[in-house]
């Protein structure tokens, strides 16, 4: 087997990603806190509760852990409901908390990437219609301006909105996130308002900090057609257009196209400096006449491949390459992998997912696609939305028991630390962490075998 080193470009960003409601604990004033109180919404009737206890300061020890693994960046989000608990009322202490958090990252030589909206809304926003209400666009921009004025001097990288199409479809089409609707028309309207929210946030940020580098985190999925492919291919194209492509294309064309509906948003054109890719799964897509409320379309998981817990797609890290390629060619912007990870409590899949994922990212970089950084999801196990603290949905490099707050490093943390330190993935790491996959992942010829020359007479 040949020894090799997959080296990443100098200055490549290595980090993990988190979000406020999932790690802070003590959030009681947002739509998720209210949703968690409704029976049957969250696995086992759980609530986020103390989560990872970051609000009471435990972020500092977790940042120490990240820094000890040689990470040089961290993606996190600020909680709108803390900063603006009531309409127009700004909580300066909450802003100070986030300023301290940013300073804590900087003190550890970690670049902050700040997300402004990651699934949660203040209750006063939610009660006034959430993102179905067009007023939310202006209210969000106001909040963004406040954050930019207070924190902008110490932050360069900004992510306006996390996974807009996940928010729209989970909350308004599949009913799994608040407000639990199943209404395609509403899902599309929410997506449109999120796009307008992104644009408004972009301008608010640029007015306050012209040097801000602004993007958004877009969740992309890999898709294969159901069988027979000729029958189900149109379903795939529909999902691909609506879920993967429409939002991104609107940023380049100024037109948001869903099915036959086209909404002109010319002001969206070019309102981004970089694009973030959140990537996890591959799904099989097809028509199902029993799903009228989902436009007769169903997503299932292919039966083969790397399988995590039920309910999620096949784990297929190679799909990163294709998603990077599409984003790079369509947007012509730098790309950050703003999330990539796997639900895996016993860490039996994570080292392999890291290796296979980074092999794909490295391959994309070698095609000259401008990937600038990689943020693994996530640093410590946290509150996984509708899955709550379901033990099957643990995404952390470190385990975290929400009762005791005890952190337990997983082996993948060590592997990620070695990768970040070396700015590279090496064959030696592959041999030590996923020896059973080394030959299949990196087939080679035994060139280093001793060559015996015939003896001279």
Cα 16–151–56 angle (5° rounding)? 60
Q: Are 33 and 385 in contact (CB under 8 A)?
A: no
Q: What are phi and psi of 343, to 5 degrees?
A: -75, 120
Q: Which is nearer to ligand IFM, 362 or 377 (CB)?
A: 377
Q: CB of residue 137 vs ligand IFM: minimum separation in angstroms?
A: 22
Q: How far apart are CA 141 and CA 145, in angstroms?
A: 6
Q: CB of residue 51 vs ligand IFM: minimum separation in angstroms?
A: 12
Pick from 170, 213, 278, 299 the residue near ligand IFM by CB under 6 A: 278
Site for ligand IFM in 218-237 (CB under 6 A): none
Determine the straight-line distance between the first and last CA of the chain, rounded to whole angstroms.
33
Q: CB of residue 17 vs ligand IFM: minimum separation in angstroms?
A: 8
Q: Considering the rule CB under 6 A, would residue 79 count as an interface residue with ligand IFM?
A: no
Q: Considering the rule CB under 6 A, would residue 360 count as an interface residue with ligand IFM?
A: no
Q: CB of residue 139 vs ligand IFM: minimum separation in angstroms?
A: 22
Q: CB of residue 22 vs ligand IFM: minimum separation in angstroms?
A: 6
Which DSSP letter does residue 450 get?
A: P
Smallest CA-to-CA distance from 375 within 397, 393, 343 is with 397
CB neighbour list of residue 457: distance below 8 Å, 6 or more residues apart: none
Site for ligand IFM in 141-200 (CB under 6 A): 163
Q: What are phi and psi of 41, to 5 degrees?
A: -85, -35
Site for ligand IFM in 377-396 (CB under 6 A): 377, 384, 395
Quick note: the x/- pattern for ligand IFM over 395-434, rule CB under 6 A, is x---------------------------------------
Smallest CA-to-CA distance from 343 within 371, 372, 404, 301 is with 301
Residue 432: burial class (beta carbons within 10 Å; 0-12, 13-18, 19+): middle
Q: Considering the rule CB under 6 A, would residue 336 count as an interface residue with ligand IFM?
A: no
Site for ligand IFM in 84-113 (CB under 6 A): none
Q: Considering the rule CB under 6 A, would residue 19 count as an interface residue with ligand IFM?
A: yes
Total chain residues near ligand IFM (CB under 6 A): 8
Q: How far apart are CA 353 and CA 349, in angstroms?
A: 6
Residue 180: burial class (beta carbons within 10 Å; 0-12, 13-18, 19+): middle
- Give the number of other Cβ atoms within 10 Å of residue 142's Cβ: 15
Q: Which is nearer to ligand IFM, 62 or 150 (CB)?
A: 62
Q: CB of residue 9 vs ligand IFM: minimum separation in angstroms?
A: 25
Q: Which residues bind ligand IFM (CB under 6 A)?
A: 19, 22, 163, 278, 339, 377, 384, 395
């Amino acid at each position: 087997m040949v020894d090799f080193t997959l080296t990443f470009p100098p200055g490549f960003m290595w980090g993990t990603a988190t979000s406020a409601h999932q790690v802070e604990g003590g959030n009681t004033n947002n739509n998720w806190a209210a949703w968690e109180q409704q029976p049957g919404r969250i696995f086992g009737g759980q609530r986020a509760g103390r989560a990872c206890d970051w609000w009471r300061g435990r972020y500092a020890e977790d940042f120490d852990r990240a820094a000890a693994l040689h990470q040089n960046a961290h993606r996190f989000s600020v909680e709108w409901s803390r900063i603006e608990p009531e309409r127009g009322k700004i909580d300066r202490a909450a802003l100070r908390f986030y300023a301290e958090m940013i300073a804590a990252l900087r003190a550890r030589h970690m670049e902050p990437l700040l997300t402004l909206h990651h699934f949660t809304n203040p209750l006063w926003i939610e009660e006034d219609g959430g993102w179905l209400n067009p007023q939310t666009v202006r209210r969000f921009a106001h909040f963004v301006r406040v954050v930019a004025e207070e924190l902008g001097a110490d932050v360069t990288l900004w992510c306006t909105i996390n996974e807009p199409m996940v928010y729209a479809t989970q909350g308004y089409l599949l009913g799994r996130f608040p407000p639990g609707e199943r209404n395609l028309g509403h899902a599309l309207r929410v997506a449109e308002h999120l796009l307008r929210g992104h644009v408004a946030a972009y301008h608010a940020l640029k007015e306050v900090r012209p040097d801000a580098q602004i993007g958004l985190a877009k969740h992309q999925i890999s898709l294969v057609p159901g069988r027979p492919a000729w029958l189900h291919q149109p379903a795939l194209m529909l999902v691909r257009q609506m879920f993967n492509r429409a939002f991104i294309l609107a940023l380049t064309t100024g037109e948001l196209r869903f099915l036959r509906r086209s909404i002109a948003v010319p002001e969206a054109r070019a309102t981004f400096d970089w694009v973030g890719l959140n990537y996890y799964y591959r799904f099989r897509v097809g028509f199902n006449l029993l799903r009228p409320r989902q436009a007769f379309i169903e997503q299932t998981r292919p039966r083969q491949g790397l399988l995590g817990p039920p309910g999620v797609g096949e784990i297929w890290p190679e799909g990163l390459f294709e998603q990077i390629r599409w984003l790079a060619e369509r947007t012509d912007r730098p790309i950050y992998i703003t999330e990539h990870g796997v639900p895996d409590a016993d860490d039996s899949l994570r080292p392999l997912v890291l290796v296979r994922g980074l092999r794909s990212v490295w391959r994309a970089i070698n095609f000259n696609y401008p990937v600038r950084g990689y943020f693994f999801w996530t640093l410590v196990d946290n509150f996984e939305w509708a899955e709550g603290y379901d033990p099957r949905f643990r995404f952390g490099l470190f385990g975290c028991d929400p009762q005791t707050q005890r952190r337990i490093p997983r082996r993948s943390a060590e592997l990620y630390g070695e990768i970040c330190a070396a700015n590279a993935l090496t064959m030696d790491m592959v041999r030590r962490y996923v020896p059973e996959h080394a030959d299949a992942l990196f087939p080679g010829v035994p060139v280093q075998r001793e060559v015996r020359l015939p003896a001279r007479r």
